[in-house]
């Protein structure tokens, strides 16, 4: 069958994770069972929690080289960066700051290429998946653009597809949660967002009013990004809007 990434006829692997398993690390219990639940369930006194053995995965999407070599290269960098598992000056540096009454975490020395390709790979994997939970992700011509970036190891400029990240302040109750991608229409442009372990990652496919406001905080080619920290008392309401429970 044809691999979705390299477009070559190859033997395809039986288990391609849509979201990398290391992202689920804090969601596993002592028996290595994933605690999986909907946001709406989290708001209930006794939420229903299922316990699958792992995150979402699908067969016959990618060949071994694309999944476990090419995409794993980007995944490996980000997982090491999050754990500060480098033995030299490559460790990212995080500095807290405040501008106009808003808290930021300014991250320096994070590899733009590997970080952006990893984040794009999450959105692209959801795009190629046939699973119901990713049905809203349909990238159109951007799917092919991202595929070429991933296979060629070239994420283009930071203005191509802008990525901004919001961080949830600890103690909000949403620190350990992975949400399915949400699609937005903004001024005739399309944007996607994903909640992953206390972070909201936003992908602006084209420039719009919101992307312009966040332009200085985006992931940039100078190997930096500024994360906007959302105060914990506002996060529950924010997430309810995010998942469509509230309309305003």
Indicate whether 190 belongs to any domain.
Answer: yes
236: containing domain = 16-242
141-152 vs 112-128: helix crossing angle, rounded to 10: 140
Pairing between β-strand 162-168 and β-strand 224-230 as defined by DSSP bridges = parallel
Indicate whether 3 belongs to any domain.
Answer: no
Average pLDDT over residues 211-228: 93
Q: How much is the pLDDT for 55?
A: 53
Indicate whether 195 belongs to any domain.
Answer: yes
Q: The pTM is what? A: 0.84
Please say if the pLDDT value at position 27 is more than 80: no
Stated length of the chain: 248
pLDDT band at 174 (very low <50, low <70, confident <90, very high): low
Please say if the pLDDT value at position 175 is more than 90: no
| Secondary structure (DSSP) of 208-248 | -HHHHHTGGGS-BTTTEEEEEEEPHHHHHHHHHHHTTSS--
Please say if the pLDDT value at position 51 is more than 80: no
Please say if the pLDDT value at position 104 is more than 90: yes
CA dihedral 86, 88, 89, 90 (to 10 degrees): -40
Indicate whether 170 belongs to any domain.
Answer: yes
CA dihedral 191, 198, 97, 88 (to 10 degrees): -100
Indicate whether 248 belongs to any domain.
Answer: no
Indicate whether 210 belongs to any domain.
Answer: yes
Number of domains in the chain: 1
Residue 160 burial (10 A CB sphere; 0-12, 13-18, 19+): middle
Indicate whether 247 belongs to any domain.
Answer: no
Indicate whether 6 belongs to any domain.
Answer: no
């Amino acid at each position: 069958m044809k691999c979705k990434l390299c477009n070559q006829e190859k033997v395809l692997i039986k288990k391609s994770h849509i979201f990398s398993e290391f992202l689920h690390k804090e969601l596993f219990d002592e028996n290595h069972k994933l605690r999986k639940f909907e946001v709406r369930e989290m708001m209930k006194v006794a939420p229903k929690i299922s316990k699958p053995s792992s995150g979402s995965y699908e067969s016959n999407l990618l060949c071994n080289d694309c999944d476990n070599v090419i995409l794993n290269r980007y995944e490996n960098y980000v997982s090491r960066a999050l754990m500060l598992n480098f033995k030299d000056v490559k460790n990212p540096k995080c500095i807290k700051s405040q501008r106009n009454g808003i808290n930021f975490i300014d991250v320096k020395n994070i590899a733009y290429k590997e970080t952006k390709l990893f984040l794009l790979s999450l959105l692209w994997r959801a795009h190629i998946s046939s699973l119901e939970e990713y049905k809203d992700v349909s990238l159109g011509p951007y799917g092919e653009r991202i595929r070429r970036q991933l296979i060629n190891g070239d994420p283009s400029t930071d203005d191509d597809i802008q990525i901004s990240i919001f961080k949830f302040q600890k103690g909000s109750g949403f620190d350990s949660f992975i949400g399915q991608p949400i699609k937005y229409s903004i001024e005739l442009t399309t944007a996607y967002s994903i909640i992953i372990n206390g972070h909201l990652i936003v992908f602006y496919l084209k420039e719009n009013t919101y992307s312009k406001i966040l332009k200085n905080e985006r992931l940039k080619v100078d190997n930096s990004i500024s994360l906007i920290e959302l105060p914990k008392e506002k996060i529950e309401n924010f997430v309810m809007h995010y998942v469509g429970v509230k309309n305003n």
